[in-house]
Structure 1
Amino acid sequence: MSKPQRHVFVCTQNRPPNHPRGSCAAKNSSAVLQAFWGELQKRNAYETVAITYSGCLGPCDGGPNVLVYPEGVLYSGVSPADVPEIFTSHLEGGVVVERLVAPEAAWS
């Protein structure tokens, strides 16, 4: 396996219904993860991009959350429909999708 240029983490944290923090799983993060894996396969990008599901990435109320390294960009409110744009713009082109970037306060 080659070292990927970018590594994507998709939060799939699940919590009980009505949990005060909510969860990305309750906001359809599994569909987001499946969309990333689908794009990876469609674009045959296995040598350049790694996609991994993860536990909590922090700002649960803004999920589904997606974290891209090495830049450390946190996307929030990601839907399956956003995945092709993230793939084309950021993962392949190196240009962050600003409309989906989590607010700086998410890191506090």
Structure 2
Amino acid sequence: MIAPKYHVFICTSGRPNGIQKGFCHSKGSVDLVGYFSEEVEDRDLSDDVMITNSGCFGICAKGPVVVVYPEGVWYGNLTEEDVPRIVEEHFEKGIPVADLMI
């Protein structure tokens, strides 16, 4: 059984019909999945952090949106440049990145 320390959900604007379109998708959220995955792998955190793409969270104006469990921390308006900070500060040090939270 997989028991990661963190489970990261990234909105990729998935729809029930399987089509990805929407605000987060148009703002590059699919690329964020790759950036998070690469950063986690590069830091050898694959056993501790699970990355999952998700459908809409319903707060599109804050997109791209990422939610981290078990704490339930919501990050918004993320860019590629924010990913290393979140991985280092939140996943490695255990301190959520306050200025990126929504």
Q: Is the shorter-chain TM-score for this pair beyond 0.5, marking a shared fold?
A: yes
Interval of TM-score (by shorter of Structure 1 and Structure 2): 0.7 to 0.9
Q: How many residues align?
A: 96
Higher strand share: 2
Q: Distance in 2 between matches of 1:58 and 1:73?
A: 16
State yes or no: 1:87 paired with 2:87: yes
Query: Alpha-carbon deviation of 1:58?
Result: 2.1
Give every structure 1 segment of 4 or more consecutive aligned residues whose post-TM-superposition deviation is greater than 6 Å.
none
Per-residue Cα deviation, 1:13-42 (whole angstroms, up to 9, x for no partner): 043xxxxxx520011111211100111211
Q: Normalised by the size of structure 1, how large is the TM-score? A: 0.83
- For structure 1, which runs of at least 5 residues remain unmatched after alignment? 16-21, 103-108
Within 5 Å, which residues of 2 pair with 1:26-105?
26-102=26-102
- For structure 2, which runs of at least 5 residues remain unmatched after alignment? 14-19
User: Aligned residue for 1:19?
Assistant: none
Provide the aligned C-alpha RMSD in A.
1.2
Q: Normalised by the size of structure 2, how large is the TM-score? A: 0.88
The residue identity in structure 1 corresponding to 2:47 is E
